Amino acid sequence: MPLRDQIEQLAAREGGNYSDADFALFNEFKAALNRGEIRAAERDKNGKWQTNAWVKRSILLGFRMGAIVEMTSSDAPLQFLDKNTYPIQRFSANDRVRIVPGGSSIRDGAYIAPGVVCMPPMFVNAGAYVDEGTMIDSHALVGSCAQIGKRVHISAAAQIGGVLEPAGAMPVIIEDDVIVGGNCGVYEGAIVRERAVLASGTIITGSTPVFDLIRDQIYRRDGDAPLEIPAGAVVVPGSRAINTDKAREWGLSLYAPVIVKYRDDKTDASTQLEEALR
């Protein structure tokens, strides 16, 4: 029986006692996540992103199966306790992943491709997929099931939100060659298309409209269709006035991400990733 069918049958069972065979099956599933062979979301043959709800349900299964155990090393000054089904993932030099010393951690069940650089401290949660050549900078988060493309720069203190429930919900997608500036946040299943640039401090959520000054459009989430930042867009933090009497009296405005240009040679030069760092 295929792994998917077996793990779905296990996930559909009522919680209770789990056998050694059940844990072996879950570990087989988690190993496939670690290898990048299965993903919480992926493109279909038409290039559209689709959620693999069965993968997310199976990740949740691991929390149900797990027991809280001591995870503190003998010489550590701080104590750590977590589910034994999701320990910190271990790497070897053969994986060609750089995890610079200083307090970073990557949870088991996340795919980290060769050439990824992790600057301390950063965290990658279970179900995430981080593709080749990406840099995750200091104090950055890659949340559960987030999908990060090739050669992405997730700058210092940027937050890529995670989502496990509901199982059918789209995780955050960051496509190839995207620059996510410092202190940015991308949440609620938003999709940032290839080569887009989010300037420092830009916040993208599923419920936040994005104003495109170049194409005279406003982008919003439409029902089940996620909010998408167009390919090559350069997005900066902005504001829009609230047009009620009291808001005008008080001079109030709301936060609004604004697309001020699309990538050109000047943008590429200013955002060029230094290959020597890799």
107 and 60 share one domain? no
72 inside domain = no
High-pLDDT (> 70) share of the chain, %: 98
pLDDT of 32 strictly over 80: yes
82 inside domain = no
Res. 273 pLDDT band, cuts 50 70 90 = low
State which of 64, 82, 100 marks the end of a domain. 64
Whole-angstrom distance, CA of residue 93 vs CA of residue 70: 27
Whole-angstrom distance, CA of residue 162 vs CA of residue 187: 7
DSSP 63-116: HHH--EEE---TT-SS--EEETTS-B----GGG--EE-SSS-EEBTT-EE-TT-
* Chain centroid, CA 194 distance in Å: 15
Q: Which residue has the higher pLDDT, 46 or 270?
A: 46
273 inside domain = no
203 inside domain = yes
State which of 48, 64, 80 marks the end of a domain. 64
129 and 252 share one domain? yes
127 and 38 share one domain? no
Q: Is 236 exposed, middle or buried (0-12, 13-18, 19+ CB in 10 A)?
A: middle
75 inside domain = no
CATH of the domain at 184: 2.160.10.10
Res. 168 pLDDT band, cuts 50 70 90 = confident
234 and 125 share one domain? yes
Question: Would you state the pLDDT for residue 16?
Answer: 79
Whole-angstrom distance, CA of residue 187 vs CA of residue 171: 8
State which of 46, 64, 82 marks the end of a domain. 64
Question: Would you state the pLDDT for residue 149?
Answer: 98
Res. 134 pLDDT band, cuts 50 70 90 = very high
Residues 192, 176: contact at Cβ < 8 Å?
A: no
126 inside domain = yes
pLDDT of 275 strictly over 70: no
170 and 247 share one domain? yes
50 and 119 share one domain? no
Q: Is 120 exposed, middle or buried (0-12, 13-18, 19+ CB in 10 A)?
A: middle
Does the predicted model carry a pTM greater than 0.75? Answer: yes
Q: Using alpha carbons, select from 93, 89, 115, 76 the residue that is nearest to residue 34.
A: 89
Whole-angstrom distance, CA of residue 167 vs CA of residue 30: 17
Res. 271 pLDDT band, cuts 50 70 90 = confident
58 and 132 share one domain? no
Res. 74 pLDDT band, cuts 50 70 90 = confident
76 inside domain = no
Full domain range(s) for residue 125: 91-264
60 and 132 share one domain? no
pLDDT of 276 strictly over 70: no
Please tell me the chain's helix, strand, coil percentages from 3-state DSSP, rounded to the nearest 5.
20, 30, 50
106 and 46 share one domain? no
Count up the domains in the chain and report the number. 2
pLDDT of 51 strictly over 80: yes
187 inside domain = yes
pLDDT of 278 strictly over 80: no
